[in-house]
Structure 1
């Protein structure tokens, strides 16, 4: 029968992701909850940036977390971090969905909902977000993944390399090319997006 120990500690005393995953593998349901609260929002943000579709991002997050729970009994602490492993799975799942999407006619894809709030600042921020998402969608899959992981999720190059299964030099190249392309795509829209100062 699964145990339910308490992981309510201060931030500096909090168990590592490794420790939580191992505790879950041993039957500790509180460890699973804690790990889910830590990692699922990050995976959801990553998937949403890559897919630009909330429902698909939620599916990817659920599938990635399920795979993490499935490998928990075989997890070896001290190697890759669970978050890095999870980012890699999410990138792969999102990339698979993007490939399948390419075979679908563009006319069959529904227009995204307009999330614009009533206040002017919210509208400007929504326009900026939409412009960034549109520009990100024009990048090749690997460039998009590298840019999102580095500049929107805040991962370091070694973690991105591990998540994408490539070398650090390849990450640096992908992010540099991706940033250059984003700059080209967005440079003509500075005034429109309120960056005219």
Structure 2
């Protein structure tokens, strides 16, 4: 019972990390439940290997725990820091797979958008979130699992307890609903030059 409550804890990641840095084991439990899936997801997408992704997620979380007592709030979001660590760990594993010495491998290209780009991304994300919330629950679930989490239709069918055809139908109807909800906002969201 406590785990379900912990997963819904409304304290920020930064506040929880500061609490853990002062010895609060409950804060570590909440952060583990909240953040490990993020690190795992990015590693799994990069590596294509769940076992390796689990190792990367575990190492990223261990580094976060070591960082906790020295965490400087306001410099970076915990999730941003964790994603970066997970990406770097996964990149290191990919380089090792290719047999390149780490000091000879090229550095990852910086693809982070500037301030204006981040503002546009935030507006687009808010518009998408609002449009998703307007969808019927099952359509919203299918669209999120397929297009935001990248799961396959058979995986989604198993999660939702429906057939693959039902997933395809739910996803298609959800996408049509999103298209209709966002249709008049293309220019506002910066898509006028696409």
Q: TM-score, normalised by structure 2?
A: 0.50
Q: TM-score, normalised by structure 1?
A: 0.49
